[in-house]
Amino acid sequence: MASSADSLARMKLHAIRRPGAALVLALSLSVLLVGQPTARAADDDSLFNSAMTQDPGASESPSKGKTSVFNEGEGEPPASGYFKKHEPGEIAEYHLFVPDKLEKQRLYPLLIVYHGGKDGASGKGTLRGYIKVSTKEHPVIVLSPNMYTMDAYNELMEKGDVPIDPNRVVVFGFSSGGMGVLSAMKEFGRSKGAFKPATLIAASTTASMGPGDYPPCPYIVMAGERETPEFVKNNILKNRRSTCRKHAVAMQQVFDEVRYLEMQGFGHTAGKPAHIAAIRNLIRALPDSAVKLKAGKTPDELQPLVRAARGADWGAVHSEITRLDAAEEWATRSTYKTLRSRVLKAMDATFKSDAKFVAGIGKKSKTWEILRAFELYDRLEPVPSLFTGTPAGEKLVKYFASIEGSKHWQAELAARKRYQEIVADPASDALVEKLEGLRAESPATEFGGNRTREKLLALKG
């Protein structure tokens, strides 16, 4: 059963609604907790998600590449105060790592990492630390801005000379670097949804937003197990673990998917091998959206179809084919017919490969493979019905049947559904009891095991 403290926390959180109501703002929870040391309760070690800290690339070769600094000297720290006043478009110094020998015509994941401390304090050092995320086998571009804004990213995308996959952008901020994560949230609204991060990670920070638009992506809160009074003397930081736990529960009101990763054995830090391993797992879970498609010289009106196919956006592919099939000026042209055939063949090959990957998930699959399978499944599931009654659709149904025939994957889906039903009512007095029940029923699944453990740990407050 839930403790009285858990019940009180959930009663308070029930008053926080999704976008449109106020949330706790930037670090206010930590301020409230200063001067209120609490005895450290013994945590159940089995509640820690150790799978996320198992490095998927421990045996891989470190990336070699080029590090560069742009707008050097811009955005110096303020003479007094904590944050430099910043105007949109005022691009501060930023540091960039691009791995060697990237393949032409491919796009690569980007990690944006915001350092802790004052503006401009450690951008260069932060870059050096997080280059470790990238390996020769799985290259990652790393960007470390010296100011907590998205201007450096926007400048890179405008230049267009770095092969960044906009669908695989992970934003990470440590401590006060959570202000950079806030900037990423705001950029989604400012860009009218054009900027869509794949994942937002706030490590040992509690930067929150009030009313506004939130990107449709997972939000992950990290904290150190030892960010507690007996390990930390700094008044602001010594209750950070409790603050982060409450923050993770509160943010469930505005993000559909919120995770809480507590790093066992660590204090107020975010650059240890365990943190690098967790970031690697999260990045590798993101499907490569690049689909091989030879389109040649294509008329402008057919470019949306090409872009949709190369980005594996099969819903958009269906919309474009439907539109062009009905257009007299295109329906009979050999240029379109050839492209249409190539697009459907590319979809067939990609869908078949992705379905095989999902169907192959089992109890011994690596963490990133399971997370990736969920991403792929959600992308694949609605597609066969779009092409009902066509030869292409019949093949897709056949491929999807292999997923439906996988007993382990069906167990994964059932556990996810049950988990989502349980956390949909955060004020339920039976929340903890139901989560513990799911944990007992489906411990070998991602949501019955890892996600349930994360949620239970966060609810300990």
What CA–CA distance (Å, rounded) separates 90 from 417? 45
138 pLDDT more than 80: yes
Q: DSSP label at 387?
A: T
Q: Which of 250, 284, 318 is where one domain is finished?
A: 284
What CA–CA distance (Å, rounded) separates 43 from 36? 20
Percent of the chain with pLDDT over 70: 87
Task: Assign 74 a pLDDT band (cuts: 50, 70, 90).
Answer: confident
Name which of 118, 121, 127, 73 is nearest 95 in CA terms. 127
First to last CA, the chain: 15
Q: What value does the mean pLDDT take over residues 193-203?
A: 96
Report the Cα 289 to chain-centroid distance in Å: 15
Q: What value does the mean pLDDT take over residues 406-419?
A: 97
User: Residue 78: its pLDDT value, please?
Assistant: 60
Name which of 244, 142, 148, 161 is nearest 187 in CA terms. 148
Q: In the numeric block, which tokens belong to residue 153?
A: 């990213």
In a domain, 359, yes or no: yes
At 133, which amino acid appears? V
Output the average pLDDT for the chain: 87
Q: What value does the mean pLDDT take over residues 356-381?
A: 96
In a domain, 10, yes or no: no
Task: Assign 387 a pLDDT band (cuts: 50, 70, 90).
Answer: very high
258-263: strand order across its sheet: 65-70, 94-99, 141-145, 108-114, 164-174, 199-203, 219-224, 258-263
Residue 28 CB neighbour total at 10 angstroms: 14
What CA–CA distance (Å, rounded) separates 151 from 289? 25
Residues 173, 29 within the same domain = yes
**179-203 per-residue burial string, b: 16 or more CB within 10 A, e: under 16:** bbbbbbbbbbebeeeebebbbbbbb
User: Residue 82: its pLDDT value, please?
Assistant: 59
Q: DSSP label at 93?
A: P
* Number of domains the chain is built from: 3
Q: What value does the mean pLDDT take over residues 95-100?
A: 97
340 pLDDT more than 90: yes
Q: What value does the mean pLDDT take over residues 76-84?
A: 62
In a domain, 311, yes or no: yes
Task: Assign 348 a pLDDT band (cuts: 50, 70, 90).
Answer: very high
361 pLDDT more than 90: yes
Task: Assign 118 a pLDDT band (cuts: 50, 70, 90).
Answer: low
User: Residue 86: its pLDDT value, please?
Assistant: 67
Range with the lowest mean pLDDT among 64-73, 286-295, 297-306, 436-445?
286-295
Q: Name the one residue in this structure whose structure tokens are 């206010």.
A: 28
In a domain, 291, yes or no: no
Residues 197, 168 within the same domain = yes
The three-state (H, E, C) secondary structure of 16-81, written as one string: CCCECECCCCCCHHHHHHCCCCCCCCCCCHHHCCHHHHCCCCCCCCECCEEEEEECCCCCCCCCCC
Coil/strand/helix, residue 142: strand
Q: For the chain, how long is the longest CA-to-CA vector?
A: 75
84 pLDDT more than 70: no
Residues 412, 430 within the same domain = yes
Q: Name the one residue in this structure whose structure tokens are 């959570």.
A: 178
Q: What value does the mean pLDDT take over residues 410-434?
A: 95
6 pLDDT more than 50: no
Whether the pTM exceeds 0.85: the reply is yes
What CA–CA distance (Å, rounded) separates 210 from 17? 10
Residues 65, 148 within the same domain = yes
User: Residue 427: its pLDDT value, please?
Assistant: 87
User: Residue 93: its pLDDT value, please?
Assistant: 86
Residues 159, 237 within the same domain = yes
Residues 424, 393 within the same domain = no
Domain that holds residue 229: 23-284
What CA–CA distance (Å, rounded) separates 273 from 144? 18
Q: In the numeric block, which tokens belong to residue 321?
A: 């084919």
In a domain, 274, yes or no: yes
User: Residue 390: its pLDDT value, please?
Assistant: 94
Task: Assign 411 a pLDDT band (cuts: 50, 70, 90).
Answer: very high
Q: What value does the mean pLDDT take over residues 87-111?
A: 88
Name which of 411, 407, 410 is nearest 448 in CA terms. 411
In a domain, 17, yes or no: no
240 pLDDT more than 80: yes
Residues 390, 419 within the same domain = no
Residues 223, 174 within the same domain = yes
User: Residue 222: its pLDDT value, please?
Assistant: 97
Report the Cα 303 to chain-centroid distance in Å: 29
Residues 172, 271 within the same domain = yes
In a domain, 8, yes or no: no
Residues 378, 247 within the same domain = no
What CA–CA distance (Å, rounded) separates 379 from 108? 19
5 pLDDT more than 60: no
Name which of 249, 289, 283 is nearest 371 in CA terms. 283
**Burial class, 352, CB count within 10 angstroms (exposed 0-12 / middle 13-18 / buried 19+):** middle
In a domain, 374, yes or no: yes
